[in-house]
Amino acid sequence: MERRLFLQQTGVIAGAAIVAPSLMSAGKKQNKLVILHTNDTHSNIDPFPVNHPKFPNMGGVSRRAGLIQSIRNQEENVLLLDAGDIFQGTPYFNKFKGVLEMKTMAEMKYDIVTLGNHDFDIGMEAYKNALSHASFQVVNANYELSSTPLSEVVKPYTIIKKAGFKIGVFGLGVNLQGLVPAENWKGLTYRDPVQTAQQQADALKKEGCDVVICLSHLGYEYKTDQVSDKVLAASTSGIDVIIGGHTHTFLEDLQEFKNQKGKSVFVNQVGYGGLKLGRIDIELCMDSGRFTIASTNQLLDENII
C-alpha cells in the first residue's frame, strides 16, 4: 500500500544564502532520501516459528538484511534507523546479552538508533558493552545521562548529510518509571519529551537541517494523557517525520498530522519483532517556475497540500 503525501515545507525565506544552504550543494544528484526503519525488534534473530498463531514464519534478521541490501542496490541514499527496544524477547538475548543483536545491526549498516525501555533491561553497562560491537550512533535527548555509563555513547541528536539533504535526527524515550527496575537506570533523569523535542527541532533548524527526524520510543497513542507520538506531533513544530516504537503498533500507512503551526508531520511505526521494514521516501520537489517573494510563497505553500 502506498500513497503520496505532500509536505509543505520551508522555502519561503528570501535571500539565497539562507535558503537551505545544504540543498544548494546538491549538484546534479537527485534529492531522494530513502529512510528504512524498524522498531521493537526485541532480539528476534530467527523468523517467527512456522506454527506461530499470528505471524507464522515471518521476520528474521537474515531476510531483513537481504531486503535492505536489495533496496540499497536500487537506491543510492539510504538511511537505516531503529526506534528502540533492540533487546529482550528471545533466548539469544538471555544468552549473549545483546551482542548478537548489535552485531547483526552493524552488519546491516544501521546509521542511527534510539533507546527503548527494554534496552535498559540488563543495565546500562551491558548496553554499552553490547554497543561496542556496533558502529551506529545512539540518540536520545530527554534522558539526562551525564552521570551514567551511557554519557559518552549516547548523544541528544546527530546530523547526517545524504542525498543533498542535511538531516537532523534526535531521539526521545519513554518514562522509565514503572517500566524498568530502578537500579537499571540509576542516575538517569527524565525530561519532558514535548519540551525537549521543541528545543531539539529548533536547534536542528537553526543548524540548517532540511529534514528533522524524531526517533521516538514514546508510543503511538494512549487512552490516557500520556505523551505519545500523536501528542508530540500536534504539540510541537519543526519536526518532519516521527519514527516511533514502544506500543508495537502496526500502522497501515504513514500517518499525517498537523503540527502546532499547521504544517504536516508524518508518523510511522512498524509493529515489532522485525516483522516489517518501514520505508519513507523523501524527495525534494521544485515548484516549477514559481519563484516568488517570501510573502507570496507562504500562500503557495498552503496550496500545495
Identify residues 11-30 at the interface with another protein (CB under 8 A).
11-17, 19-20, 23-24, 28
Residue with cell 531522494: 32
Indicate the residue among 69 and 260 with the shorter CB distance to another protein: 69
Among 76, 207, 281, 302, which residue sits at the site for another protein (rule: CB under 8 A)?
281
Residue 123, burial from CB neighbour count under 10 angstroms (0-12, 13-18, 19+): middle
Shortest approach of another protein to residue 177 CB, angstroms?
8
Which residue from 84, 89, 171, 173 is in contact with another protein, where contact means CB under 8 A? 89
Contact flag: residue 283 with another protein (CB under 8 A): yes
Answer yes or no whether residue 58 interacts with another protein by CB under 8 A: yes
Nearer to another protein by Cβ, of 198 and 268: the residue is 268
Among 61, 150, 169, 242, binds another protein (CB under 8 A): 61
* Cβ 226 to another protein shortest distance, Å: 11
How far is Cα 201 from Cα 203, in angstroms, rounded to an integer?
5
CA–CA distance, 233 with 125 (Å, rounded to integer): 33
213 makes contact with another protein (CB under 8 A): no
Query: Which residue number, 87 or 157, has a Cβ lying nearer to another protein?
Result: 87
Choose which of 104, 148, 228, 259 interacts with another protein (CB under 8 A): 104
User: Binding residue for another protein (CB under 8 A) from 185, 189, 194, 280?
Assistant: 280
* DSSP label of 265: E
Q: Which of 22, 72, 75, 103 binds another protein (CB under 8 A)?
A: 103
Run of H or E including 100: helix 99-107
Burial class (CB in 10 A: 0-12, 13-18, 19+), 29: exposed
Contact 171, 29 (CB under 8 A): no
2 touching another protein, by CB under 8 A: yes
Which residues make Cβ contacts (< 8 Å) with residue 19, sequence separation at least 6? 11, 13
What distance in Å separates the CA atoms of residue 140 and residue 191, rounded to the nearest whole number? 11
- Contact assessment for residue 212 and residue 239, using Cβ atoms and an 8 Å cutoff: yes
Q: Is residue 203 part of the contact set for another protein (CB under 8 A)?
A: no
Other Cβ atoms less than 10 A from the Cβ of 23: the count is 16
Smallest distance from another protein to CB 136, Å: 16
Of residues 130-159, those binding another protein (CB under 8 A):
none
